């Protein structure tokens, strides 16, 4: 799995939180749609695609080795992945942009959808834990309505590495990370259930944590602040294509992952 080792080496250079399992899952889900750029045999950049049928696909893991930037490598990787997705008949493509990536995506025709912030709780260490809990058809339906597209297959694969929590019309997941546990997704159709479920989730792990929250979801931001998280950076969800399904950020109290939506 040389590609996995190269992708891990590159993502470590930019300090992202993915584990080898996260990258392996992306490659196994979309084996022909994850790309590594090489220059003179040296791996210098990555990009992943994750398709949810033909209605929607996500582009993620867009990064280039710091020594090889501003040579058009990211642009080539983006063109390659856009071609791949369009050949598959995908009608809408989304991604979550950092400020460094945003100009590149704008030049390729991506438009802003909404912003979200990464919130962080500091900690000396990262928790390790075993997966637990079930992803029932009800939870998949809740996620579909919140996200705007059916990503049941992908969600089930992610959930197999996570702790899954439920309470009435609310569910949440905790996922292991390289340097921090990731909280998300959390979807809730009953505001009075969500804070106690998140408290219950946090009681099961200690250490450093990350949590991505749509900026239009003020209730989620208030909960995060009360629970000792603070915002550390802003990202922009962007889209291009036709008939783009709209998610419902007001019921997404935590996003699944900027690499896949």
Ligand X SMILES: CC(C)(COP(=O)(O)OP(=O)(O)OC[C@H]1O[C@@H](n2cnc3c(N)ncnc32)[C@H](O)[C@@H]1OP(=O)(O)O)[C@@H](O)C(=O)NCCC(=O)NCCS
CB-wise, 94 or 208, nearer to ligand X? 94
Q: CB 199 → ligand X: shortest distance, Å?
A: 31
CB-wise, 1 or 39, nearer to ligand X? 39
Q: Which of 28, 71, 125, 225 binds ligand X (CB under 6 A)?
A: 71
Looking at 65-73, 122-130, 157-165, 219-227, which segment touches ligand X (CB under 6 A)? 65-73
User: Does 79 sit near ligand X (CB under 6 A)?
Assistant: no
Q: Which of 57, 97, 180, 210 binds ligand X (CB under 6 A)?
A: 97
Looking at 59-67, 133-141, 144-152, 208-216, which segment touches ligand X (CB under 6 A)? 59-67
CB-wise, 172 or 241, nearer to ligand X? 241
Q: CB 74 → ligand X: shortest distance, Å?
A: 3
For 221, the token pair is 């931001």
Cβ partners under 8 Å of residue 217, min gap 6:
249, 250, 252, 253
Task: Decide: helix, strand or coil at residue 122.
Answer: strand
CB-wise, 64 or 92, nearer to ligand X? 64
Strand partners, 240: 93
CB atoms under 10 Å from CB of 43, counted, come to: 18
Q: CB 78 → ligand X: shortest distance, Å?
A: 8
Pick from 167, 162, 166: nearest CA to 183: 162
User: Does 62 sit near ligand X (CB under 6 A)?
Assistant: yes
Q: Which of 23, 26, 56, 74 binds ligand X (CB under 6 A)?
A: 74
Supply angle C-alpha 27, 29, 32, rounded to 5: 60
User: Does 36 sit near ligand X (CB under 6 A)?
Assistant: no
Looking at 95-103, 113-121, 142-150, 173-181, which segment touches ligand X (CB under 6 A)? 95-103
**φ, ψ at 80 (rounded to 5°):** -65, -45
Residue with tokens 């309470």: 167
User: Does 259 sit near ligand X (CB under 6 A)?
Assistant: no
Q: Which of 43, 101, 148, 177 binds ligand X (CB under 6 A)?
A: 101
CB-wise, 63 or 251, nearer to ligand X? 63
Number of H helices, E strands in the chain: 8, 11
User: Does 103 sit near ligand X (CB under 6 A)?
Assistant: yes
**φ, ψ at 41 (rounded to 5°):** 80, 0
User: Does 244 sit near ligand X (CB under 6 A)?
Assistant: no
DSSP 221-234: HHHHHHTT-EEEEE
- Cα-Cα-Cα-Cα dihedral sign, residues 217, 113, 248, 25: negative
Would you tell me which residues interact with ligand X (CB under 6 A)? 14, 62-64, 69-75, 97-98, 100-101, 103-104
């Amino acid at each position: 799995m040389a590609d996995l080792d190269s992708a891990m080496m590159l993502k470590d250079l930019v300090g992202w939180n993915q584990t080898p399992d996260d990258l392996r899952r992306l490659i196994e889900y979309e084996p022909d749609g994850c790309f590594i750029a090489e220059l003179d045999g040296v791996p210098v950049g990555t990009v992943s695609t994750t398709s949810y049928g033909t209605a929607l696909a996500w582009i993620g893991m867009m990064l280039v080795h710091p020594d090889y930037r501003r040579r058009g490598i990211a642009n080539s990787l983006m063109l390659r992945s856009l071609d791949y997705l369009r050949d598959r008949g995908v009608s809408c493509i989304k991604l979550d942009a950092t400020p460094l990536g945003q100009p590149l995506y704008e030049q390729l025709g991506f438009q802003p959808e909404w912003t979200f912030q990464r919130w962080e709780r500091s900690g000396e260490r990262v928790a390790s834990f075993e997966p637990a809990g079930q992803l029932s058809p009800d939870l998949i339906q809740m996620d579909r309505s919140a996200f705007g597209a059916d990503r049941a297959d992908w969600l089930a694969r992610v959930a197999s590495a996570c702790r899954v929590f439920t309470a009435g019309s609310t569910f949440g997941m905790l996922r292991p990370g390289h340097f921090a546990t990731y909280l998300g997704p959390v979807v809730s159709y009953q505001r009075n259930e969500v804070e106690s479920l998140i408290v219950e989730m946090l009681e099961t792990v200690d250490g450093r944590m990350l949590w991505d929250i749509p900026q239009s979801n003020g209730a989620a931001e208030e909960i995060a602040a009360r629970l000792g998280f603070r915002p550390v950076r802003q990202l922009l969800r962007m889209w291009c294509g036709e008939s783009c399904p709209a998610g419902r950020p007001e019921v997404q109290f935590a996003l699944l992952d900027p690499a896949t939506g």
